[in-house]
Structure 1
Amino acid sequence: MPRILAHKASLRAVLAAALTALATTAAPAAAPTSAGPWPGTVTLAVDATDLDHQIQRVTQTLPVAGPGPLTLHYPRFLPGTHGPYGDVAQLAGLQISAGERRIEWRRDTLDPYAFLIDVPAGVRELTLRYEHLAPQNAGQGRPTMTRQILGVQWNQTLLYPTQVPAAAVRVQAQVKLPAGWQAATALRDPQGRVAQADGQGWVRFAPVSVETLVDSPLFAGRHAKRVELDPPGTPRPVALNLLADEPGLLDASDAQLEAHRRLVQQSDRLFGARHWRQYDFLLAQSRHFGGIGLEHHESSENGVRPGYFKDWDKAIASRELLPHEYVHSWNGKFRRPADLLTPHYNVPMQNTLLWVYEGMTQYWGHVLTARSGLATPEQSRDALAYVAAYLDARAGRTWRTLQDTTNEGTIRSSRDKAWRDWQRGVDYYDEATLIWLDADTLIREKSGGAKSLDDFARAFFGVPTAFRADGSIAPQPYTFDDVVAALNAVQPHDWAGFLRQRLDSHGPGAPLDGLARGGWTLGWSSTESPFAKNAPSRDGKPRPADFRWSLGLMVTHEGKLEQVAWDSPAFKAGLAPGLTLLAVNLQAYTPERLAQAIDANREGRAPIQLLLKEDDLYRLVTIDWRGGQRFPVLQRADGQSDRLSAIYSAK
C-alpha cells in the first residue's frame, strides 16, 4: 500500500480508502461481514499444568448459527507487536467434533492462519481440542513455561470466527494451574473479584469479548506477591503483581514500592484520567522465563532478569520498562492510531503513527521514571545522553527516514541486524523521544514557561472514557491531523511542518534542538558513566565492551565483534560483525588492554594493532585512531534555562 502522508491529505480519508481496497483484495474470511454479536458464548479451557513438556492443552466449545461453511482464524497481527507475529506453527493436534461426530477441517492454502470447516445440518456447537506448544528454548521463540513461572497469552490458545468483529464474540475462559501457584491478570472472576484457583487448580473468569481476552494475558507462578499501589477503596485501582524464580527476589523495600506508587500518582497528574476498570502490572524476574515488555489496556506483561529490586542502586535500565508500558494504557490502547484500529487480528495493521504510539510513550516513560523517583535526574540524563549519541551517529539516516522505520514491524525484519546503524531499525522509539523533547521545550520557550507538553497530554489523553454496552472500554482513534490540532490548541505553531521535517528529513545528525533548548548539550567523557557501566545485558552474559564512539566497536566478553559502526575507523580497516578479536598489540585481548591501547595513541605514536580470526583465517589490522576513549555525557549549556530539570521534576 502507498505510504500515508498525513500532511498532504486527510489520514481518515486515506485510511478509509485503504481499508476498502483491502476488503476487496483479501480472502473473504479476513474481514467481518456482520456487525452483530456471535450467537452464544465461546468457552475456552487451558490446562497449563504440563511443565514437563511445556504444553498448554486447550478445549474450546464454539456455538454456531447453523450449517454451512465456517472459517476460524488463529490470531496473526498482534496488538503491541506492530506486525504479523502470531505463530500458528505453535498450534498442534487440532481435532474438531460435534458430539461424537468428528468434523474434518482444512487449511486455507493462501492463508495458513485460516481453518475452513463445513458445519453439518443440525449442529449448534463445535468442540475443538488442540495444544499450544510453548517454545522449549529461546531459539524456538520466547519461553513462556518454566518450573517457576508461566504465561498464558490467550491469542496463542484461541481459534475464533472473523465473520464479526473480535469485540462481538464473547468468551468465558478458565485456566488450570499447577498446585499452589498464584495467577495474576486483569481478568476478574464472575463476581468481579481477583480470581483464585479452586480445589482442582482451575481459575475461572467472567465472560468477556475476544478483544478483551486477547488484551488480558495471565502470568502465574510458584513464588508470587500482589502489592496494591492505591489506597483501599480507590476507584479503578492499580496493583503490582510480582513473580520470580526464587522467593527472595520478591522482597522490596518500602522506598522501592513507594517509587512505584509515585509512578501511579505522577501519571494521574500528567493525564488527568484513568481509562480502565482496574490495572495490573505483571512483573516476572527470571533467568528462564522470556523477557518481555508488552502493553495492554488494563495490564502489561513485563519480564526482566533477576535483580530488579536487589540491584536497585546499580542500574536503572529495567526501571524504565514499567513506566513505558503503563503510559501505553493511555497512548496506544485507549487513544489509538486510526490505522491500527482493525476489526480483528487477521486484518493487516498499519503503523504510520508509531512515532506517536511508541515514540511519545517512550518520552513520557522516560520522564515519569524521573518524576516518580524510579531513577534520579542524574541517571536519567545519563540515559538520555546515550540515546542522543547513538542516534546522532545513525549513518542510515542518509538513505532511510524516521517515518520509514515505522514499517519495521510489517517488514518483520531480523532484530539482530549486521549493520544496525546503517540499516536502522525501530528508531521511532528513541529518536521520537528527542522529537517530543524538542516539542516540549519549544512549547515552554514560546509560552514563557506557562505551557508544556504536559498540557497536551492532559487534553489529548484525558478525554472522557467511552464504555461499550458490555462494560469494556472503547478505544478512541487519532490521526496526524488530530495530534497537530491538539498541539496548536496548547501553543500555536507550524506543528505539521515541525513534525514532518523531523520525520522525513535525512539529517545530518539526530534532532538535538530540544536538548539544547532544555539547557544541555551532548558532550564526551573519557570514562563511562555509572549508568552505562552497570547496565545489565539482555541475555544474562557479561555486558559487551563499548568502543562505539572511538574505534566503532562493541566487543563481547568472548572477543566477538557484536557491532561495527558503519564508516567508523574499524569499518574502514575492514572489520565486520562476527569476527573474533584475539589480541591487541600482540597481547591477548581484554577490554582493559584495548582501552589502554586506544588512550596510548592519542598523539599517533602507537597505532592500534588488532589480531582477528575470521573462520580459519587470521588477520592483523592497524587502526590509527587518535581521539582516545569517548563516552556520551550531557553538559550544561551556558546561558540557557535548565528546562530539562523542570521536565524531570515531580508534579
Structure 2
Amino acid sequence: MTSPWIAVRRLLAASLWMALAAQAAPMRLAVDATDLDRRVLRVQQQIDVERPGPLTLRYARYLPGGHGPYGDVTRLAGLRVQAGGRPLAWRRLAGDPFAFLIEVPPGVATLDLDFQYLAPVRGSGERISITPALLGIEWETVLLYQDGPAVDAQRITPRLRLPAGWQEASALRDAAGQRAEPDAQGWRQYREMSVETLVDSPLFAGRHLRRHALDDSPGAAPVSLALLADEPGALAATPEQLAAHRALVAQADRLFGGQRPFRHYELMLALSEEFGGMGLEHHESSENALRPDYFKDWADAIRGRELLPHEYVHAWNGKAHRPADLLTPNYHQVMGTALLWVYEGLTEYWGHVLAARAGLSTPEQAVDRLATTVAEVQARAGRRWRALADTQIDPAIGPGHSREWEDHQRQQDYYDEGLLLWLEADLAIRQASGGQRSLDDFARRFHGRAPGRHADGSIRPQPYTEDELFAALHAVQPLDWRHFFHQRLDQPGRDAALALTHSGWALGWQADESRFQQHERGWEGDSGTERPQNLAHSLGLRVIGNGTLTQVFWGSPAYEGGLTKGMTLLAVNDLAYKPERLDAALRANTGGDAPLRLLVKDGERYRSVTIDWRQGPRQPLLQRQTGQPDLLSAIYRPR
C-alpha cells in the first residue's frame, strides 16, 4: 500500500510538472498526408526546451481504448533531431524502445524533429489505414511527447496537409472554433490543445464524404454522422435509415439524461473494402469502419449497426466516466483492466439495446442476435477453466499471439459475455422491483452525471471504482451486487443461458439458421473475410467454401475425430465437399445409424475421419416461455 507521504510527494511532483508545462510554449506539429502511393505520413515537430541536459521523448505505447500495449514504434522511421540546423544524437533508453533520450546542449531553445510514419500496406497482415480513397490519422502515431508532465498538461498546435480535394472528418476545430479549411498550400491549422485532446481526436479523410446532422438543436451539443467511402454510391442512405441514426442520439439522451458529455460529437464511419475494419471510442468522436454494404439489405441483416451505438455510448461510459485504473497520466504507464466488464461489457449491452430502440435493428433481429450470442458464449470450452474476470488481462498481453484453439484459450470475452452479464442485472432489477425500475435508472444515476472539464472546455474524465459502482446499483435496487457480479465474474463454468432467466425467453435449437445468421457477414472491413459455414453447435467446426477449417471447437465431435484448424475438408461421404452437401449429410443422418465419413487434407497427408454426430444441424433461437412476461420486448422498446 502506498503511504500517505509518498502519495503527497507524487501529487506535488505532478503539480510541479503541470505548472512547468503550462509555462512552456506549445509544441508545433505538422503532418503531411499526401503520399498515398507509399502510405507514408511525413512529420515535422518542434519542441521548445527550457534548460540543457537530458530530455526523454516518448512514443505512445499504452493506448486508450485498446487498454494495452498496442503502440507500434517500429513504424516510426527516419528520425532526425536538430537544434539551430545542427544535428543532435539520440538513443533509446535501456529496456524501453519507446523512449528516446536526447542530450540538449547549452544555449538551445528549440528542437526540430522530422520523421515518417510508415502505415501498413497490403499483405502486411495489419489493418490498412491509408488507401487511394481514404485515410485515417491517429495522432499518437505521428508525435513524440515529453516524459514527465501528464499528457493533459502538455500543449500542442497541430496542422495537417491532405491530398488536394479531400475532405476531413474529426472533432478538431480551428482557433475560431470552426472546421479547419485548407490554406493556399493545402494546410489545415487547428487550435492549440493538450496532447491528450489531440490524441483523443483522430481524423478520417477521403475523396468522398457526406455529413448529416443528427441533432443540431439550439443549446444542445451538436452530433453529426460523417460518412466516407471508396465510391460515392456507398454513401446513399434513405430518409428512414438516417432517421434511425437520429433516433440513436435521442434514445441515448433518454437513457442517460442530463447533458451530453461533449462539446460536439462526430460519428465517423468509413465504408470500404480496403480500409481496415475498426471501432474505437473518443470523447468527441468515434472511429468506425465497416463494409460498403452498410446501407444495403437493411431489412435482412444488422450489418454491424450495433457498432455506432457501442462507440457512442462510450462517450458516457468510458470517456466521461472511466474506471480509475484505466485513467493513466500518459501513454507509457501500464493500464489496469479490472473493470473492463463495465467499460466494455456494459457498453456492449447498451449498444445492443440502443440499436433496437433506435430502429437500427428490429426487435426480431435483436432477439436473433441475442440467441447467437448466448449460444456462442455457451460453446466456449475455455469457460469451464478460465473465469470471465481473467479474460480482462488479455489487452495487457498485447498483440501478436495466435489462438489455434480460441474457444478453449478464450480472449476478450468481456464484450459479449459482458452483454449477458448486464442483461441479467437489468432483468434482476426489473424482477425485484416488480417492473418499477430497470438498468436505465442506473444509467441516469451513474453515467448521466455532468462530466469534468479542463480550463479550455475539453472533457476531463472522472474516475470511478467498483465500490462506487455497486453503491449506485444498490441505490437503484437494494441487492448484494458484489456477490451478484463476482459470482458470475470469478467462477468458471456457469451456464450462459441463465442470463435469460426472468426474460420470458429461453435458448432453443432449430435445424436452419435464423435470418440474422443467414445474412450477417460481420463488420470487419477485410474483403477476404468469408462468412464460414457455421456448424459450431453440431459437428463443432467452421469451414469456408474452399474447405479450409477456420475453427474446430475443443471437445466437440470434430475435435474427437482428430480435426484441427487449418486442415482442408475435401469430401463428405465420398463426395467432394460443398457446403450444401455437408448440410444435406447432416440432415440425412439425423437419428441415423452411422457416423459421417470425411476426407481431409493435412499438409501433404490425406486421411479419412469419422465423426459420430447423429442429431442433425443445430442452430440457436430464442423461444417464448408461456406464462412469463416478455421483458426482452420491454427492454428493446423505444423510450
- The match for 1:587 is 575
Q: Are 2:17 and 1:34 equivalent residues in the alignment?
A: yes
CA contact (8 A) 2:36 2:132 kept: yes
Shift of 1:478: 0.9
Q: Give the counterpart of 1:381 among 334, 344, 367.
A: 367
- The match for 1:11 is none
Q: Are 2:528 and 1:528 equivalent residues in the alignment?
A: no
Q: Are 2:255 and 1:267 equivalent residues in the alignment?
A: no
Report the Cα distance in structure 1 between the residues aligned to 2:16 and 2:273, rounded to whole angstroms: 45
Relative to structure 1, the CA distance from residue 293 to residue 571 in structure 2 (aligned partners, 3 Å threshold; closer, same or farther) is: same
Report the Cα distance in structure 1 between the residues aligned to 2:267 and 2:116, rounded to whole angstroms: 27
Q: Are 2:293 and 1:307 equivalent residues in the alignment?
A: yes
Q: Give the counterpart of 2:62 among 77, 99, 106.
A: 77
CA contact (8 A) 2:385 2:493 kept: no
**Structure 2: gaps (5+ residues):** none
Shift of 1:395: 1.2
- The match for 2:533 is 545
Report the Cα distance in structure 1 between the residues aligned to 2:361 and 2:377, rounded to whole angstroms: 22
Paired AA for residue 420 in structure 2 = L
Q: What do the CA deviations read for 1:514-565 (whole angstroms, capped 9, x no partner)?
A: 4131111000011001111111153334310011111001001111111111
CA RMSD, aligned part only? 1.9
Report the Cα distance in structure 2 between the residues aligned to 1:156 and 1:597, rounded to whole angstroms: 52
- The match for 2:40 is 55
Shift of 1:37: 4.5
Relative to structure 1, the CA distance from residue 343 to residue 312 in structure 2 (aligned partners, 3 Å threshold; closer, same or farther) is: same
Q: Give the counterpart of 2:315 among 329, 335, 357.
A: 329
Q: Secondary structure at the match of 1:144?
A: coil
Shift of 1:417: 1.4
Q: Secondary structure at the match of 2:74?
A: helix
Relative to structure 1, the CA distance from residue 353 to residue 573 in structure 2 (aligned partners, 3 Å threshold; closer, same or farther) is: same
Q: Are 2:599 and 1:637 equivalent residues in the alignment?
A: no
Relative to structure 1, the CA distance from residue 414 to residue 123 in structure 2 (aligned partners, 3 Å threshold; closer, same or farther) is: closer
Shift of 1:275: 0.6
- The match for 2:565 is 577
CA contact (8 A) 2:274 2:527 kept: no
Relative to structure 1, the CA distance from residue 103 to residue 414 in structure 2 (aligned partners, 3 Å threshold; closer, same or farther) is: closer
Report the Cα distance in structure 2 between the residues aligned to 1:513 and 1:567, rounded to whole angstroms: 22
TM alignment of 1:351-366, pairs within 5 A: 351-366=337-352
Report the Cα distance in structure 1 between the residues aligned to 2:123 and 2:170, rounded to whole angstroms: 24
Shift of 1:480: 0.8
Q: What do the CA deviations read for 1:113-136 (whole angstroms, capped 9, x no partner)?
A: 000011111111111000001111
Paired AA for residue 527 in structure 2 = G
Q: Give the counterpart of 2:610 among 594, 600, 622.
A: 622
Which segment is superposed worse, 415-424 or 573-582? 415-424
Q: Are 2:106 and 1:144 equivalent residues in the alignment?
A: no
Report the Cα distance in structure 2 between the residues aligned to 1:106 and 1:415, rounded to whole angstroms: 29
Q: Are 2:479 and 1:493 equivalent residues in the alignment?
A: yes
- The match for 1:558 is 546
Report the Cα distance in structure 2 between the residues aligned to 1:349 and 1:317, rounded to whole angstroms: 32
Shift of 1:232: 4.6
Report the Cα distance in structure 1 between the residues aligned to 2:431 and 2:516, rounded to whole angstroms: 30
Which segment is superposed worse, 541-550 or 599-608? 599-608
Paired AA for residue 122 in structure 2 = N
Report the Cα distance in structure 1 between the residues aligned to 2:62 and 2:287, rounded to whole angstroms: 18
Q: Give the counterpart of 1:424 among 384, 403, 410.
A: 410
Report the Cα distance in structure 2 between the residues aligned to 1:607 and 1:526, rounded to whole angstroms: 18
CA contact (8 A) 2:513 2:619 kept: yes
Report the Cα distance in structure 1 between the residues aligned to 2:204 and 2:468, rounded to whole angstroms: 36
Report the Cα distance in structure 2 between the residues aligned to 1:33 and 1:596, rounded to whole angstroms: 72
Q: Secondary structure at the match of 1:96?
A: strand
CA contact (8 A) 1:324 1:365 kept: yes
- The match for 1:117 is 102
Q: Give the counterpart of 1:405 among 391, 394, 400.
A: 391
Relative to structure 1, the CA distance from residue 211 to residue 411 in structure 2 (aligned partners, 3 Å threshold; closer, same or farther) is: same
Scaled by the length of structure 2, what TM-score is found?
A: 0.96
Q: Secondary structure at the match of 2:215?
A: coil
Relative to structure 1, the CA distance from residue 32 to residue 97 in structure 2 (aligned partners, 3 Å threshold; closer, same or farther) is: farther
- The match for 1:186 is 171
CA contact (8 A) 1:31 1:347 kept: no
Shift of 1:287: 1.0
- The match for 2:118 is 133
Relative to structure 1, the CA distance from residue 374 to residue 134 in structure 2 (aligned partners, 3 Å threshold; closer, same or farther) is: same
TM alignment of 1:212-231, pairs within 5 A: 212-231=197-216
Shift of 1:593: 0.5
Shift of 1:261: 0.1
Q: Secondary structure at the match of 1:497?
A: helix
Q: Secondary structure at the match of 2:452?
A: coil
Q: Are 2:334 and 1:343 equivalent residues in the alignment?
A: no
Q: Secondary structure at the match of 1:35?
A: helix
Shift of 1:623: 1.3
Q: Give the counterpart of 1:517 among 496, 502, 505.
A: 502
Shift of 1:599: 1.1
Q: Secondary structure at the match of 1:628?
A: coil
- The match for 1:289 is 275
- The match for 2:586 is 598
Shift of 1:601: 1.1
Q: What do the CA deviations read for 1:149-206 (whole angstroms, capped 9, x no partner)?
A: 0111000001010210000001110110000000110011110012222232211111
Q: Secondary structure at the match of 2:571?
A: strand
Q: Secondary structure at the match of 2:357?
A: helix
Q: What do the CA deviations read for 1:395-433 (whole angstroms, capped 9, x no partner)?
A: 111211100000000012557511111101111011111
CA contact (8 A) 1:525 1:631 kept: yes
Q: Are 2:134 and 1:153 equivalent residues in the alignment?
A: no
Report the Cα distance in structure 2 between the residues aligned to 1:424 and 1:252, rounded to whole angstroms: 38
Relative to structure 1, the CA distance from residue 234 to residue 319 in structure 2 (aligned partners, 3 Å threshold; closer, same or farther) is: farther
Report the Cα distance in structure 1 between the residues aligned to 2:14 and 2:331, rounded to whole angstroms: 10
CA contact (8 A) 2:32 2:41 kept: yes
Q: What do the CA deviations read for 1:25-80 (whole angstroms, capped 9, x no partner)?
A: xxxxx999723242111110000000111100001010111111100000000000
CA contact (8 A) 2:294 2:303 kept: no
Q: Are 2:610 and 1:647 equivalent residues in the alignment?
A: no
Report the Cα distance in structure 2 between the residues aligned to 1:251 and 1:195, rounded to whole angstroms: 26
Q: Secondary structure at the match of 2:459?
A: coil
Q: Secondary structure at the match of 2:276?
A: coil
Q: Give the counterpart of 1:369 among 355, 379, 388.
A: 355
Q: Secondary structure at the match of 1:458?
A: helix
Q: Secondary structure at the match of 2:430?
A: helix
Q: Secondary structure at the match of 1:168?
A: coil
CA contact (8 A) 1:317 1:535 kept: yes
Paired AA for residue 85 in structure 1 = Y
Relative to structure 1, the CA distance from residue 359 to residue 284 in structure 2 (aligned partners, 3 Å threshold; closer, same or farther) is: same
Q: Are 2:555 and 1:567 equivalent residues in the alignment?
A: yes
Paired AA for residue 185 in structure 1 = S
Paired AA for residue 568 in structure 2 = T
CA contact (8 A) 1:43 1:171 kept: yes
Q: Give the counterpart of 1:104 among 67, 89, 93.
A: 89
Shift of 1:290: 1.2
- The match for 1:469 is 455
Q: What do the CA deviations read for 1:94-131 (whole angstroms, capped 9, x no partner)?
A: 11111111111111121000000111111111110000
- The match for 1:196 is 181
Relative to structure 1, the CA distance from residue 503 to residue 186 in structure 2 (aligned partners, 3 Å threshold; closer, same or farther) is: same
Relative to structure 1, the CA distance from residue 342 to residue 17 in structure 2 (aligned partners, 3 Å threshold; closer, same or farther) is: farther
Q: What do the CA deviations read for 1:271-300 (whole angstroms, capped 9, x no partner)?
A: 113010000011001111111100001100
Shift of 1:506: 1.3
**Structure 1: gaps (5+ residues):** 1-13, 25-29
Q: Give the counterpart of 2:162 among 173, 177, 186.
A: 177
CA contact (8 A) 1:394 1:509 kept: no
> Aligned pairs, how many?
630
